[in-house]
Amino acid sequence: MNQITLGLDPLPKKTRKEVFLDEMNQVVPWSALVALIHPHARGAHQALRGRPPFAVETMLRIHCLQLWWNLSDPAMEEELHERPLYRRFVGLEGAARLPDETTILRFRHLLERHQIAAQVLATINAALAQQGLILKTGTVVDASITSAPSSTKNQTGKRDPEMHQTKRGNQWHHGMKMHIGVDAESDLVHTVIGTAANVNDVTQGSALLHGEETEVWGDAGYQGLDKREEFQDKNVRVNIAMRPGKRRALDPNRELHQLLEKAEKVKASIRAKVEHPFRLIKQQFGYAKVRYRGLKKNTARLTMLCAMGNLWVVRCQLLGMQG
Structural class in CATH, domain 117-312: alpha beta
Q: What is the DSSP letter of 282?
A: I
- Mean pLDDT across 6-33: 86
Q: In what helix (H) or strand (E) does residue 164 lie, and over which residues does it extend?
A: strand 164-168
Which residues sit opposite 103 in a β-bridge? Answer: none
Kindly state the DSSP code that residue 140 receives in the 8-state scheme: E
How confident is residue 43, by pLDDT bands cut at 50, 70 and 90? Answer: low
> Do the strands 138-147 and 189-196 form a parallel or antiparallel pair, or are they unpaired?
unpaired
**Is the pLDDT confidence value at 54 over 60?**
yes
pLDDT of residue 49: 61
- For 181-216, the pLDDT digits (tens) are 999 998 999 999 999 999 999 999 999 999 899 999
Q: What is the pTM of this model?
A: 0.91
Highest mean pLDDT among 157-161, 176-180, 183-187, 207-211: 176-180
Q: Specify the pLDDT at position 170.
A: 86
Average pLDDT over residues 27-51: 79
- Give the C-alpha separation, 267 to 219, whole Å: 9
| CA distance linking residue 144 with residue 40, whole number of Å | 32
